[in-house]
Structure 1
Amino acid sequence: MPELARARARAAKQQAARKATAPLPVDPAPELPVARVLVDVPLAHLDRPFDYLVPAKLHASVAAGTRVKVRFAGQDVDGFVVERVASSAHEGRLMPLRRAVSAEPVLSPAVARLSELVAARYAGTRSDVLRLAVPSRHATTEKQASVPAPAADPDTGAAEAAWSGYDGGAAFARRLADGGSPRAVWSATPGHSWPALIAHAAAATYASGRGSLICVPDHKDVARLDAALTEVLGAGRHVVLTADSGPAQRYRSFLAVSRGAVRIVVGTRAAAFAPVHDLGLVALWDDGDDLYAEPRAPYPHTREVLLTRAHEESTGVLLGGFARTVEAEYLVRTGWAETLQPERSALRAAAPQVSITGATDKELERDPHARTARLPRTAYDAIRDGLTRGPVLLQTPRQGYATSLACDTCRTPARCAVCTGPLRQTAAHQPPSCRWCGAEDHAWACAVCGGRGLRAPVLGDQRTAEEIGRAFPSVPVRTSAGDRVLATVEDRPSLVVATPGAEPVAEAGYACVVLLDTWLMLGRTDLRTVEEALRRWFAAAALARPAGEGGRVVAVGEPSEPGLQALVRWDPTGFAGRELEDRQSAHLPPASRLATLTGPEADLASAVEVLALPPGAEVLGPVPVVVTGPVADAEAPAQLRVVIRVPRAAGAALSRTLVEMQGVRSARKLPPVRVQVDPVGLE
C-alpha cells in the first residue's frame, strides 16, 4: 500500500506540472497569427520550422527575420521567425511565443533560403548554418541608427580602363555597370593592383544601383581592399565584416548592411552570409586558400556559399587569384564562367624572372655558403644581388625553430622517452622538447645507434632567420609568421623571412624572392598537394618587382617538378587544366563528389548501413584516422573513416541521404558521426 500511495502522489505531481507548463489561452494577433520559427536546436530530425501562436501583445514586434524565444522540449530556446501566416496545419493548440527578443529583422529571406541550401549541400542543419550567418545580438549597438552611405556617382569609365589590361576585362566592367551579371574566373597579373581592380568592379556594380560582397582570406587582405575601396569610392560607402572585429563592431557593420544603409561589404569568410540589399556581385580573392574552409559544422566552403548565392540571386561572379584552382577551371570548362586573363604583353611586363636551383645534399655539402645559410650558391648570389637594390623575401614552409629532429649519425627521427612523441627545438639555447607532452630531454641518445648528436631536417622561420642573419651580418632580418605577421616592409635593403600566407607587401616590390624547401610543401600525401604548393609559390612570387626592374624569383627545388615548371612559365591556367584532366580521369573532385564519415567502428558501420546511396556510389574504407597527439588520446575510441564517392550529378542525392541518416541517428539518440561533404583536404 505505501508503494501505491507513492505512485499516486507522483502521478498527481506530474499532472500538476503538466498543467503548470501548459500554454494558457492568449489573444492571437489580429493578422497572420501564426509564426513559423526555426528553433536553435542542432538536432537533424528537428531541422524544420515549427508553428507558434503570435500573441496580440507581440503583434508589432514579431516579423519575418526577427529573434524570438519559444518553449521547446520543456526549455526556453532561441529562434528566428521565418514567416508569419494566417493558419497552421497543426491540429492541436499552438504554443504561444514566449517573447520577442528584438524587433530588428536580422534574417533576410535571401539568407534564410541560403541557409537552407547550404545545410542541404553540406548535410548539416540550418541552426548550425545560421550561427555562422547571423552574429550574436549586441543590444546597445542595436539601439543606434545606421548612417546611410553618402551618395556617389562612380566613374564607370575608370573601371573599364582599370580592367582593360585583361582580355574581356573592359566588357566585364561594362556589363556590371549596365546591370548585368557576368561570371568570370580571373587570373591576376603579379603585383599590387588586384585590390584596386576588385574595388573598380564593385564601383561599376554600385553604379547600377546594386551592392557587392567581397571575401578575402585574412585581415591583411581586408586592410588592402578596405583602402582600395575607400580610394575608389570614397569613405563611408562600404563596411568591413570580420569575425575578429569584436561583438559590437561586427554587429554594427552587420546592421548597416541588413538595414540597407551600406551595400558594399568586404570581409573574411564570416562575410559570406552578409544580407546585402540588391546584391549584384560576389567576389572572392584567392579561392584556394584553406582559410575559406569553415572549421565548424557543417563545414561549408566560402566559394560554394558565394556561388550558391550567385545562382539564387542572379548576381555577377568574380573569382580571382594569382593561381587558379581546379574548381575555378571547372567553371570555365563547363561554360558557367568566362576567363579573364592578362594580355601576354602585360603579363611579361609585370612578371619577375623565375628560375629553379637544385638543393641536393651533395650540392649543399660542397657549397661553403650553403653550410652557413642552407642555400645553394645560385640562391645566395641572387640574395646578395637583390640586397643592393631593395628588400629580399625568403619563404620558408614551417614556423618555429627546429620543428623536427633526427639522429645526426643514422638519421632516425628523435622521439620522446616519456610518450614517444616527436622532439623539437624551440630556440638555440633551449634543450630538445616533446611536441606532444612538452617534456625536455637533456640527455637524449638514439635508440638505434646510440648517437647523441642531433640534426634538424626541417627548419622553421626562426632558425632560417638566424642562419640567414649569419650569412649577411650587416643586413637587418625580420620575420613574419604566426601571431607576428607584418603587413608591409619598407623599400630598403633587408631580409624578410616569412611563412606561406604571412608574407608582407614591400612598398615597391621585392628585389628578390627565394622559395626555400619546396620539397617540404610537396611532401604531404593530399589530393591538393601540388595545387596548394603552387598557389603559395605564386602568392610569394607575385610580390617581386617586374623582371624589367630587376625582380627575380629563385625556387630551391627539383627543376623537373611540374608545379615549379608552371611557376617558371607563369602559367596557372595551363596547370589547372592539366590537373583537372587528371582528376577527371581518376574520378576525383570536382569531377565527382565526396563525403567522409568519421567515428568509432560500431557507430560508423551502423551509419553506413542505413544509407540509401545513389547509383554509381562507391564506399571506400573504412581506414584508421591518423591522429597525432599525446598518448593520453589513445584512451578514446579509435576513429575510422569511410569515403563515399559519387558522380557529380549524384551529389545532391548523396547529401540528401546523409541528411536522412543524420536524422535517423538523432531521433534514435545514437552517437553522432562526423560528416563532411567535399572536404578541402583528403589525406
Structure 2
Amino acid sequence: MAAGPDDPHAEQPELLPGLVRATLKQSQAKARATRERKAAAAETAAVLPVARVLVDVPLAHLDRPFDFSVPAAMADDAVPGARVKVRFAGKETDGFLVERAETSEHTGALLPLRRVVSAEPVLSAEVAALSAAVAERYAGSRGDVLRLAVPPRHATTEKAEAPAPEPAPPHPLEPAVEAWGDHPHAAAWLGHLRSGGAPRAVWNPPPGADWPSLVAHAALSAPGGVVVCLPDGKDVERLDAALAALTGERPEHAVLTADLGPAARYRSFLQLSRGHRRIAVGTRAAAFAPVADLSLVVVWDDGDDLHAEPRAPYCHTRETLLLRAELAGAAALVGGFARTVEADHLLRSGWAHELVGARERVRAAARVEVAGATDFDLVRDPRARTSRLPRQVLDLVRSALADGPVLVQNPRQGYVVSLACERCRTPARCTTCEGPLRLPSPTTPPACRWCGTAAPAWACAECGHRGLRAPVLGEARTAEELGRAFPAVRVRTSARDGVLAHVDDAPAIVVATPGAEPVAEGGYAAVVLLDAWLLLARPDLRTDEEALRRWANAVGLVRPGGRAMVVADAALAPVQALVRWDMGGFAAREADSRSEAHLPPASRLATITGEPGAVDDALVLLEVPEPVELLGPVELPDDPDRCRVVVRVPRAQGPALSRALGDLQRMRSSRKLDPVRIQVDPPSL
C-alpha cells in the first residue's frame, strides 16, 4: 500500500542517503585529524630535540637519566624541571625532565615523550644537583630523594595564578646587629653575610635567648634566598611568627611542613619556585625548598632525632643543608642550645667558626643549680637522699610561682610506667606474658604494658610480698604530687597525647615530657629537671649528648635572670656542662672520647640489615678500599630472623664507602637479590 502524504516515513528513502553521507564525512574528518595529530606527534622538535628524563622507578640500577625525543607539539611545554609521562618498560611512567639536548648517545630511535603533565618547572637545576649529591652521600636513589624534595602536584593550586609581589626593599642591618648584641662576633658575621659572602658558624645562644627572633633577623639580613629547617611544627610556628612580626604586610617567607595539607603545601612550594617568596621555613623536607639565589642555610637543634629522615635514603637535615651550602657557595648557621659532636667537628676542621654569647651574658641569663639532700635533710629524713622532689626543688617552685609559671620536665609520660616489689625491688612482671606491669591511673589496678592483662592480686615471684613501689613515675603522677604540694596552684601537663604550644604568664606549674615543653609568655620563672638518671640510662651512643640537649632546651625556655634546678648527681659530666653552660667543652670532650674509640664523627659508619643470607650476599659483593672494619653480624634484639653488620672506615674514606654501597645497591637491584636495608651514618646503633 502506498504511503499517504501525511505519513512520517514517507521521506525516509530520501533522508537515508544524506545521513550516510554526513556520517561518512564525519568519520573521514575524524580519521584525518587523528592522522594529522599522530604526524605532528611523530614530528620531532627542531631545537633541542632530546629530553633527558629521570624516570620514577624503584630499581637502583635504573637510577639515571634516559633520553627521549621531544615531539614538536610539546616543545614549548617540555621545559627543564617539568613533570612528564613516558613509556618505560612497557608502562606509562612518571618522570622529571632535567635537560634538553641536541644529540643523544643512544644510537637507536628514541621513544617520544608521551605527555607533559605540566609546564611548571618544579625541579630546579640546583635541587636536581642536590638530590644527586644526597643520593650518593647516603647510597640511595635519586627517585627516593625527589619524593622528599618535590611535593605531589595540586592542579587547582597550580592553575590559580597569583600576581608576583613587588620585591621588598633590603632590610637594614642595624636592627639585626642590635638583636645579636649578646654575641661578640655576630656583627662581623652578619656584615659578611650581607655583603654576599659565605660565613659559616656554629651557634649556641645563652639560656632564655629568643632564638626565633635571632634566626629571623639573620634570614632577613641575607641578600638572597634562605632555607631554615627546624625539628617540629612548634618551632616552625615560632619562627613564622617572628618573621611575620619583622616583615609586616609584605611577607618574604613561606612555610613548608607535612601537616599543611596538599593544597597549602603546594602553594607554598610554588611561591618559592616562582620567586614570590625568598625564605623557606619548615621541617626536614624544607631542606630541598626551591629558593632562588641561595645565600644562607640554617638548621636549628641539629641533634634532634626528628631531623633524621625515617625513609630511604635516611638522610639527615644537617648534612643535606651543609651539602647544599657547599654546592651553592652559601653561608651556613648550625644552631642549638646544645652542641653536637658533628657541629664540633665543623669547628675543628675549620669549616665553620664559633658564634656564642659572651660569658658575662651567659652567667646573667640564668642560674642552674643541682638539687640534692643536705646533711640537715638526712638527719630529719633518711630517705631524702632518694627523694624525687628534694626540699630545694619545693622551695624553688614556691618562690618562683610568685613571679610566673614554673616548668617541670619529667622524662616519662603516663602515670606509673613501671612497678617493682616494695620489699626486694624485683621488677613486677605479668603472669601471662612476662611483660612489665604499670599503673594506668590512681583508680585502676596494675596492668601489663604489653598485653593489657590486669593483675589486682599480684604477688612477687621472689619473696611473695604483695606491696608495690614505683621506681619510674610518669608526668601525670608527677602533676598529681605537685598538685597536692601546691593545692592553690593550677597544674597543667603536656605530653604526647596532649601537647601544649603556649602558656600565659600567670602563676602555674607545667609538667611536660622532653620535647613537649610549651613556650611561656615572657619565659618561665624557673625550670626543674626531674629524674635525670632516666635520660642517662639509655643504652645509646649519644646518651649523654642527648640528655644534655633535652635539659638545655628546657632551660632555654627560662626568662632572663631566671633559675633552673636539676635533680641529679653533680659529679656527672653532662650535669656539670649544664651548670656551667659549657656546651662547647662538653662536645669537645665527647668528640675526643669517640675519636679514641674510632666512632663518628672521627669515622664513617654504615649498617647493612636484612636476613642472614641477604647480608652475606651483600658482604661478598661489597668492595670498599682498605682500611675497613666489619663488625658483626649480630641478631636484631627485636627480630631474631634478621641480622645487622656495621661497616666502619676512617672519615677520609667516607665518600669511597658511600660510592661502594651505591654500587652494591645497583648490583643487587640488577641481579634481583633479596633486599637489605643500608643506612649511612645512622643516628643510633
Q: Give TM-score scaled by structure 1 length.
A: 0.91
Aligned counterparts of 1:75 and 1:365: Cα–Cα separation in 2:
81
Which of 185, 190, 201 does residue 184 from structure 1 map onto?
Answer: 201
Q: Match of 2:254, as an amino acid?
A: V
Deviation, structure 1 residue 410 = 2.6
Corresponding position of 2:665: 662
Q: Match of 2:675, as an amino acid?
A: P
Secondary structure of 2:656's partner? helix
1:671 aligned onto 2:674:
yes
Deviation, structure 1 residue 88 = 1.6
Aligned counterparts of 1:141 and 1:448: Cα–Cα separation in 2:
66
1:160 aligned onto 2:177:
yes
Corresponding position of 2:150: 134
Corresponding position of 2:362: 347
Corresponding position of 2:5: none
* Further displaced range: 599-608 or 149-158: 149-158
Secondary structure of 1:152's partner? coil
Change in Cα spacing, 1:56 to 1:136, as seen in structure 2 (3 Å) is same
1:152–1:233 CA contact under 8 A, matched in 2: no
1:28 aligned onto 2:50:
no
Which of 563, 578, 584 does residue 567 from structure 1 map onto?
Answer: 578
Corresponding position of 2:410: 396
Change in Cα spacing, 1:366 to 1:67, as seen in structure 2 (3 Å) is farther
Corresponding position of 1:88: 104
Deviation, structure 1 residue 364 = 9.1
* Runs of at least 5 residues in structure 2 that lack an aligned partner in the other structure: 1-37
Q: Report the aligned-residue RMSD.
A: 2.2
* Runs of at least 5 residues in structure 1 that lack an aligned partner in the other structure: 1-22, 628-633
Q: Match of 2:185, as an amino acid?
A: G
1:612 aligned onto 2:623:
yes
Corresponding position of 1:194: 211
Change in Cα spacing, 1:657 to 1:365, as seen in structure 2 (3 Å) is farther
Corresponding position of 2:454: 440
- After superposition, the C-alpha distances for 1:588-642 in whole angstroms (9 at most, x for unaligned) are 1111100011111111111112111221111111112122xxxxxx6xx612111
Deviation, structure 1 residue 131 = 0.5
Secondary structure of 2:214's partner? helix
Deviation, structure 1 residue 109 = 0.4
1:583 aligned onto 2:594:
yes
Aligned counterparts of 1:564 and 1:99: Cα–Cα separation in 2:
61
1:19-418 to 2 correspondence within 5 Å?
Answer: 26-150=42-166, 151-205=168-222, 208=223, 210-235=224-249, 236-350=251-365, 352-358=366-372, 367=381, 374-418=388-432
1:446–1:452 CA contact under 8 A, matched in 2: yes
Change in Cα spacing, 1:112 to 1:389, as seen in structure 2 (3 Å) is same
Q: Match of 2:207, as an amino acid?
A: P
* Further displaced range: 373-382 or 641-650: 373-382
1:454 aligned onto 2:468:
yes
Aligned counterparts of 1:519 and 1:467: Cα–Cα separation in 2:
19
Which of 454, 472, 493 does residue 479 from structure 1 map onto?
Answer: 493
Change in Cα spacing, 1:192 to 1:532, as seen in structure 2 (3 Å) is same
- How many corresponding residue pairs? 644
Aligned counterparts of 1:644 and 1:164: Cα–Cα separation in 2:
46
Which of 652, 657, 661 does residue 655 from structure 2 map onto?
Answer: 652
1:364–1:376 CA contact under 8 A, matched in 2: no
Q: Give TM-score scaled by structure 2 length.
A: 0.90
* Further displaced range: 305-314 or 236-245: 236-245
2:373–2:385 CA contact under 8 A, matched in 1: no
Aligned counterparts of 1:175 and 1:232: Cα–Cα separation in 2:
21
1:450-599 to 2 correspondence within 5 Å?
Answer: 450-547=464-561, 551-599=562-610
Aligned counterparts of 1:368 and 1:392: Cα–Cα separation in 2:
28
Deviation, structure 1 residue 370 = 6.7
* Further displaced range: 327-336 or 483-492: 483-492
Which of 413, 420, 423 does residue 437 from structure 2 map onto?
Answer: 423
Q: Percent identity?
A: 61
2:345–2:601 CA contact under 8 A, matched in 1: yes
Secondary structure of 2:42's partner? coil
Q: Match of 2:360, as an amino acid?
A: S
Aligned counterparts of 2:177 and 2:385: Cα–Cα separation in 1:
52
Deviation, structure 1 residue 74 = 2.2
Aligned counterparts of 2:142 and 2:399: Cα–Cα separation in 1:
57
- After superposition, the C-alpha distances for 1:54-91 in whole angstroms (9 at most, x for unaligned) are 22222222111111112222222211111111222122
- After superposition, the C-alpha distances for 1:446-496 in whole angstroms (9 at most, x for unaligned) are 333333333222211111111211221111100111142212212121100
1:398–1:499 CA contact under 8 A, matched in 2: yes
Deviation, structure 1 residue 306 = 0.3
1:566–1:572 CA contact under 8 A, matched in 2: yes
Q: Match of 2:281, as an amino acid?
A: V
Deviation, structure 1 residue 116 = 0.5
1:186–1:320 CA contact under 8 A, matched in 2: yes
Q: Match of 2:235, as an amino acid?
A: D
Q: Match of 1:165, as an amino acid?
A: D
